Homo-oligomer: A and B are copies of this chain.
């Protein structure tokens, strides 16, 4: 998935429901904060809040890990308490492992981000998603401030994600709900050439059939139409380009020459 991040400015998503605010509570490593900013911007999520970052703020390690998502870090707001970080938000999800012993609805990532889209559908409601510190996750006092919790359904025998991976999966799941960057499910990449016309493919078939006739390929008259049909079907199924047709003409001509030379 190599690629170059050309944008030095935050690219806010266009025509999307309002993206959720991402709240990191007590993150330990600056590197992880930077990677979270990168993961957010990958998904068009730009508003970051950080509660009591362990190593202070600003943090140079965050900048170098952000791979260019600097504007997300520059605009990040720092808070002393979780309650302050959430005070203007109307609907907040807390990411947790299961069974935290606190009475609260647990949504899957997909169902949780759908709620955020629904909350934003009527009006631009400020929503947020909270993530806890790397080692311990959110404390129950933080979870009590959320409307519900969100859990990513992963392999239960191996479900631990690092912080930036959790942010990436949740933000991408949010994005996938209504992705403005998605075009068609499938696109044809034509590499500067065009699909061959039917006539060009038929012309190639004629070339091939002539050569095969000359070479005595058709042992019986009954076989011939079936073989031709199968080859034609293969050519059309493959979606031959004009260039493919020219190449195959060249190949048939070359092979015929070879056979003729061998036969001499």
Chain A residues with a Cβ under 8 A of chain B: 1-7, 11, 13, 38-39, 41-44, 67-69, 95, 97-108, 110-111, 131-137, 148-149, 152-166, 168-169, 172, 175-176, 179, 181-193, 239, 241, 244
Contact = CB atoms under 8 A, between A and B. Distances in A.
B44 A155 contact: yes
This protein's copies in its complex: 2
Given A97-B1, A168-B165, A169-B169, A156 B181 contact: yes
A158 B2 contact: no
16 contacts: A1-B95, A1-B160, A42-B159, A42-B161, A43-B155, A44-B155, A68-B158, A101-B192, A102-B189, A104-B189, A106-B187, A108-B184, A110-B176, A153-B175, A154-B181, A169-B169
Contacts of A11: 155-158
Nearest to A103: B191
B1 A152 contact: yes
Contacts of A190: 103
B137 A2 contact: yes
A186 to B, nearest CB: 5
Contact of A13 (B5, B155, B169, B239): B155
B153 A1 contact: no
From A42, A95, A244, name the one whose CB has the most chain B CB atoms within 10 angstroms. Answer: A42
B181 A241 contact: no
Given A1-B97, A1-B163, A158 B102 contact: no
Nearest to A170: B1
Contacts of A43: 154-155
Contacts of A131: 1
A181 B149 CA distance: 17
B6 A135 contact: no
A183 B133 CA distance: 26
B186 A111 contact: yes
Nearest to A132: B2
Contacts of A168: 165, 168-169
A160 B4 contact: yes
Contact of A158 (B69, B189, B192): B69
A5 B159 contact: yes
Nearest to A1: B166
